[in-house]
Amino acid sequence: MKSLLITDFFNIYRGEWLKTRKTLAFWMTILFPFFCTILVSLKFLGDKQIPTEPWPMFMKQVNNVMSFFLPFFLILLVSFTTQIEYKNHGWKQLYSQPVPRLSIFLGKYLMILTLLVVSVLFALIIISGLAPIVQLIRPGLNFTGTSFDYITFVRLFTHTILGGVFIMTLQYWFCIRLRGFMAPIITGVFFTIIPIAYVMILGIAGLLKKGKEILKVFEYDPYSYPFSTTFRIMPADNAPSPIIPDILQLHLGIALAILILAAIDNHFRKVYA
């Protein structure tokens, strides 16, 4: 039974790969890091100061921009991936196959996680390709004279991927439960915008400098965790932070619990399609 579940799980995953190609979700996976890297490239071209170590700075800034937009990216990515089934009446085809329902549930989840990882891998390719072009336009930037800092890349982007798992898991459950396209997006965007709006209000009221402890609360909110780390990851003293800080461990633990709950919920559904 266990081996059947695993075999079927990989077969479902293969099927997910085949159907995800040429979809909006797949193109978004490429366009998201491209868009973020272009933004940072434009900033580098406009900056007066020229960093002596351009690679880590470039990577950090791409990572910051990606982290900031990550909740929106994930909300759309999960919705587009599940929408493939809703739009094409695919759920009834999937759930009438002789495979365990858990394999179907986890196969699609793993596909979305894979797309998140693919997005980061594309970021690596795009950063490596765009940075020398930026140097061509602004010769003072010494990208080609210094080595690519892989360790910094892995540290930063592993944190970004893991920071997105909680949002991804919640959105996945929403998409399966709410069954539509707009409802999970609206729910996700609402949860993302609320903390941003709160920070803006604090800023306008002049409470932001005094409110570091208030801001820390956002680290517990999955939707604002990537956003909050955007500020934390760029500290003035440039102090390195651990790849998986305690708070992220907590997020991952809760994400796993939500995934298990969602799988149980899926198992006990009365109507699959």
Residues that bind another protein (CB under 8 A): 4, 7-8, 11-12, 14-15, 18-19, 21-23, 84, 87-90, 92-100, 269-273
Minimum CB–partner distance for residue 89 and another protein (Å): 4
Nearer to another protein, 260 or 273 (CB): 273
Nearer to another protein, 21 or 209 (CB): 21
Minimum CB–partner distance for residue 97 and another protein (Å): 5
What is the secondary structure of 201-228 as a DSSP string? HHHHTT-TTT-HHHHHHGGGSTTTHHHH
Minimum CB–partner distance for residue 125 and another protein (Å): 25
Q: Helix (H, G, I), strand (E, B), or coil: what is residue 7?
A: helix
Amino acid at 117: V
Residues in the chain, total = 273
Q: Which of 251, 102, 254, 265 lies closest to 173, judged by CA?
A: 265
- Rg of the chain over CA atoms, in angstroms? 20
Does residue 79 contact residue 175 with C-beta atoms inside 8 Å? yes
Nearer to another protein, 22 or 210 (CB): 22
Minimum CB–partner distance for residue 51 and another protein (Å): 43
How many whole angstroms separate alpha carbon 59 and alpha carbon 231? 15
Q: Which of 65, 32, 77, 47 lies closest to 188, judged by CA?
A: 77
Nearer to another protein, 11 or 158 (CB): 11
Nearer to another protein, 93 or 144 (CB): 93
Q: Which residue has the tokens 């003035």?
A: 236
Minimum CB–partner distance for residue 239 and another protein (Å): 47
